[in-house]
Structure 1
Amino acid sequence: MALKIGLVAAGLLSAVAWAATALLGVPNPIILVALTVLEPSAVEPWFARRPVPAAATPRVLPVRLRPILDPVPWKGGRVSLAEMLAATHTNALLVTQNGILVHEWYRPGFDGATRFPSWSVAKSVVSLLVGQAITKGQLAETDRVSALLPDLRPDLRDTAAFGRITVRDLLDMTSGLAVPENYDPWDPLVGTAGMYLTRDLPAFVRDHARLSSRPGSKGQYRSIDTEVLGLILAEIQGRPLADILSEQIWKPMGAEAEATWNLDRPGGTEKAFCCLNAVARDFARLGLMVADHGRVGATRIVAPGWIERIETPARQEVDGWPYSAQWWHVPNGDEDISAIGVYGQYVYINRDTGTVIVKLSDHGAEQDEADTLAVMLALARDLARPGPTARPSPE
């Protein structure tokens, strides 16, 4: 009898949990529990996704392996590169110099065919797509969100937040939207966690048209800014963000593998602020394209003016760091820039030394970023010095 009552109670509790998550518009209880224990690199299959087809003929990435700096500077001392990678829970490290892959390492269980989640590296990819739209005259930095997405608040277009926020505000994280960064799956209804888990991203954006500061007045990291940019791109081009990426960047740059972009629900909207999943070498190709002023070989993909926009720090810093058009500027560096994901994802670009570094990790949220970038700067500067003869790859 007690067992029967227990089973009934468990069944009722399960039914209530499923009904509650459906009512709140967040994933079912199984997914919510899974997200509390999964490594950040393992989340792709737990959400709907849209393919980003690759090039029919991938562009060859030359490989000539050579030694790289070891040991490396770390937190005021020096440690072996392996120790630093272990300490930051690294799954992949790729280093290129002058367009050539000189170092490629994967943690056991990962390899060149593994698709890695970008997390907020996707924000920097969205920037490139916005730059393309501006170059084509489809968009201007002075355009207001309400004019581009009238369905967000058509009844309050002149007075609501989206009537005051411009594309430039979104790009430079100065929108002032009151959606705090929160990455805790145990608190799935607050801020960015709520946006990550919602099954209706347009509705989430529409329902969070509130300001915490005047647009343009203060730099605050807000993932919702990038999501709005993604909605704008899909609206003005009339097709999903994943399709835009495939046709305008992924195929032209010669990506070797199909990527995916996670959605809020099957057939729904891309999580533009995160969740682009790709192999490590294609993240490297992306960085190489930016490093070459938006070109891949003779093919112009992004206008040089947009690359210059990215490389020119915006007037407002974002949370104390130089920032511009969804890209971070490395403090005290060589005018180097980086796309950065919350769990230790990096596409680092140092044009002075001809270096691009991709690091994909399962590290703590927003942890050790300055120290990690200092390692990348040291690697880049060391590669630029005359060194040992490269070892040709067996590939």
Structure 2
Amino acid sequence: MPISRRDMLTATTGAVSLAALGDLGMAGAANAAAATPDGAAGKAETNERFLARLLGRDKLFWSPNVQPEGYKSLERILATRPIRRGASVRTFPRKEIGPLTYQDQTRTETLDDFMKLEHVAGIIGIRDGVIRLERYGLGLKPTEHWTSMSMVKSITSTIVGCALHDRLVPSLDVEVARYVGVLKGSAYADVTLRQLLTMTSGIQWDENYMNPQADVNLHYEKVIADRQAGGILAHLATLPRAHPPGTYFHYNTGDTFVIGCLLTAAIGGHLADYFSNRIWSRIGTEQDALFLLESDDGQEVAGSSASATLRDYARFGEFILGGGIAGGRQVLPEGWVVEATKPSAPREDPAGGGYGYQWWTSTDGSFAAQGFAGQTLRIHPANKSVIVILSALPSKEFRPVGEASLTRRANFMRALDAMMGHA
């Protein structure tokens, strides 16, 4: 019987741990025979780099025995740049809620059930500036990073707000080609920043995570793992237009990568440094965070897999809930949070959900940053609440029959929000 790509990955990653990668590098292991992906003459990969590259290429295909360790250790596999914290830490008062239960599909489930069934590494709930719940699982510690996956798209949107406030970008209607020269003459050239933010670029792009040949895997994840500087833009410049810009919502991580390149040009420096200076170092974060890079010391990947601690994600949520005040100073345009988190993309959803500027919106008035494998930062302005859930949800073939539920998370968060309000 032929061995599938996923079976090969599971077998490989089951046998080679991240700790082993570090041991190989520290021991000065022999160089691999193959040249580095960037083609540097006479330069060969160490075993550590070779194995890390293989792991990184298949990040969206990791099996459950790899996900938890990999999600908290991406800096050991891929290129990253620190987002520096500040000198002071914001602490929150605590008032823990009692035992939590919620209803899902006629079943009564508990907090422990939720953490097990949703493969939760960390959950924190804050209401009125008070921590009401904080729990950890899957070996995650409060001081350890966990990948954001696509939650970082909402951070990137917020950096756009900062750039507008600082007049580094004149408006959301600037066209891509003005800032990203590689895309001049491409289908992206006359797409506006607003259209990128709302995922309405109209560019033909395959975001199917389970298809190894999809753009998001072959021309994004693989490029990042191979640390090929300029590789993502080079591919984006070849893509045709599927719809007129601004007319059709299509989720496209490539769009957010372009936002990051546009911002880098407008800012004239690293996104990590700018984000740190304007927000991260001013909101009382405990730890440095990390931006994923396309290549060594290269372009920040604005659309996926930044890393931070559970509490620091919550601090960013509190910053958004507060309307964009960092260190006692307004750093976002007046009304930006309301504008960015209202449904503005032409997205059809039977449940009424919408999409704003890289934020998912809900009919109950909440909005959320969401990422692959169950990463969620959910903010409910009316309830003055922030909930962060970090997870390692396996793909469906690894989940027991009946475990997955499309309604569980929403029901859990509603119950948690209500209970936090009564605490």
2:357 aligned to which of 322, 325, 335? 325
Match for residue 376 of structure 1?
413
- C-alpha deviation, 1:302, in angstroms: 2.4
Q: Is the 8 A contact 1:262 1:276 kept in 2?
A: yes
| Corresponding position: 1:204 with 2:232 | yes
- The secondary structure found in structure 2 opposite 1:346 is strand
Aligned-partner Cα distance in 2 for 1:287–1:30: 32
Match of 2:215 in 1: 191
AA in 1 matched with 2:54: L
Letter in 2 for 1:53: R
| Letter paired with 2:359 | W
Amino acid at match of 1:191: D
Quote how far apart the aligned CAs of 1:319 are. 6.7
Structure 1 residues 326-351: Cα deviation after superposition (integer angstroms, max 9, x where no partner): 00012x42x10010011111111011
Match of 1:8 in 2: none
Query: Corresponding residue for 2:371?
Result: 341
Which residue is 1:391 aligned to?
none
Q: In the TM superposition, what whole-angstrom CA distance separates every residue of 1:19-66 from its partner, at most 9, and x where no partner exists?
A: 69667xxx8465324744420524512001111110111222332323
Give unpaired runs (5+ residues) of structure 2. 1-31, 40-48, 397-403
- Structure-2 change in CA distance of 1:368 and 1:144 (3 Å): farther
Cα 1:175/1:364, change in 2 over 3 Å? farther
Letter aligned with residue 113 of structure 2:
E
Taking the aligned partners of 2:272 and 2:329, their CA distance within structure 1 comes to 21
SS at match of 1:274: coil
CA RMSD of superposed structures (Å):
2.5
Question: Is 1:265 paired with 2:295?
Answer: yes
Alpha-carbon distance in structure 2 between the residues aligned to 1:342 and 1:176: 23
1:32 paired residue number: 54
Q: Which amino acid aligns with 1:176?
A: G
Once the two structures are TM-superposed, the CA of residue 318 in structure 1 deviates from its matched residue by 6.6
Of 233, 237, 250, the match for 2:263: 233
Aligned 8 A contact 2:101 2:415 in 1 = no
Q: What percentage of residue pairs aligned between the two structures are identical?
A: 25
Task: Name the SS of the counterpart of 1:239 in structure 2.
Answer: coil
CA contact (8 A) 1:344 1:364 kept: no
Offset at residue 163 of structure 1 (A): 2.3
Counterpart secondary structure, 1:380: helix
Structure 1 residue 296: Cα displacement: 4.6
Q: Report the residue type matching 1:31 in the other structure.
A: R
Report the secondary structure of 1:65's partner residue: coil
Contact 1:178 1:208 in 2 (8 A): no
Q: State the Cα distance separating 1:264 from its structure 2 match.
A: 1.8
Judging changes above 3 Å, is the alpha-carbon distance between structure 1 residues 59 and 29 closer, same or farther for their aligned structure 2 residues?
closer
In 2: Cα distance, 1:289 partner to 1:122 partner: 15
Q: Aligned AA for 1:196?
A: E
TM-score (norm 2): 0.78
1:296-332 Cα deviation digits (max 9, x unpaired):
57332323421011232104127764010000012x4
Q: What is the CA–CA distance in structure 2 between the aligned matches of 1:380 and 1:259, rounded to whole Å?
A: 27
Matched position secondary structure for 1:205: helix
The SS at the match of 1:161 is coil
Could you tell me which of 375, 382, 385 is aligned with 1:355?
Answer: 385
Deviations 1:264-301 (A, max 9, x none): 22111111111111111100000011111122573323
- Deviation at 1:261? 1.3
Q: What letter is aligned with 1:82?
A: D
Paired with 2:112 and 2:191, the residues of 1 have a C-alpha distance of 45
Provide the C-alpha distance between the structure 2 equivalents of 1:295 and 1:126, rounded to a whole number of angstroms.
Answer: 17
Between the aligned partners of 1:169 and 1:108, the Cα distance in structure 2 is 38
For 1:234, give the aligned amino acid.
T
Paired residue for 1:174? 200
- Distance verdict in 2 for CA 1:108–1:170, change over 3 Å: closer
